Structure 1
């Protein structure tokens, strides 16, 4: 019974995507939807196989993933440090938070023409945009997480003689970690969204470039396949964030494993 329940819970998230794929294939194969508007699922799969065999897909995924990861590390690192400083130092908060909030309200994708002027269409432009997009979710959630730590826990840590560094490492950061990881999941979505837009506007390599190049030749199967690849990469990123939640938040009641019932 438990095994069947686990299998059911594992398959449940895939139910709606599989249903959408089935409806997609049936609607195009029966002519309900014209293949000039939306290629069939089988045509998209064939395009994916072709791109995989000639090496185009793996190269594009590698280039796009490197851009996304580099921007995430830079922007996420800056956001985390600023959130940490502003959460524990009142002077830093008063000095920088207002400026950061003003910058946050500027749509970073609207800066693409200016970024192209600054950096051209090379790697720096796309990494800059990704870093700018992911910095603020990490910053805000880190700041909120640190400010939401129970003051009673901090006082208890002081009573037990914890040093300032030990207090941050054992009390403040663990208490803020749920909020920080929420910011990470939010930032991962913005990361791929920013990369999609930047690659389709100014790029000479990557998944977005592959899609735009296919559009020029009206290869809709390749365009749709590129969109599905972006969706898959986004899902994999979210799965990685969930894995970090389960690993780093074992103490949290939501992620704690239920105790096994005693044997009769």
Structure 2
């Protein structure tokens, strides 16, 4: 099973550690695309900080993030599971997983990244700022780069196993599984139900996704189909509604009434 997460907007900047080594990251097929995105971002932030702030959607109080991007090639790195922060990652809390669950996390969890395409939790990366909807001078739309680079690499990563897709819509646009993978794809959405009305509440949607991933990693199950995943989530205590099979896979709605 491959569990695909979105990145976090906020990131914890490592204070020390080795500098970035693109060759050491997972999915070596992406090295060329990573070099292009990294080079364009560093050039923009080092040569024209004012324009970089506009491109990156940063306020005047966030100009330190431009300076941080300018030094990405030499900045300290840490494991991705320590760099990505926020509600989902707080709920997942990789550091407090059991030893067995940590081993599963290293094998089964990946994070979509605007800068690196996709990384594993053990990959060493610097803290960076680059949104998935950014268009970088000299590069173009970041999403377009990854739409071209990711398909072969992701098909290899998924293999014959189940893909549990927890990405937000922005990052889902980087790569969409083709019809040949449809039977292996479970896209998970979290809905909050109150007074008969259902809605997606961003903060709690992320927290629930983090808790779901944590529970699956601790439990150790390795479902092979969307329906098997739905049944397993129900055994773990969630209410799950299974959508119809489509060319894009099957959507699983996890319905929660308490936040």
The answer to which structure has the higher strand fraction is 2
TM-score (norm: length of structure 1) = 0.21
In our comparison, the structure showing a higher alpha carbon Rg is: 1
Decide which structure has greater helix share: 1
Normalization by structure 2: what TM-score? 0.21
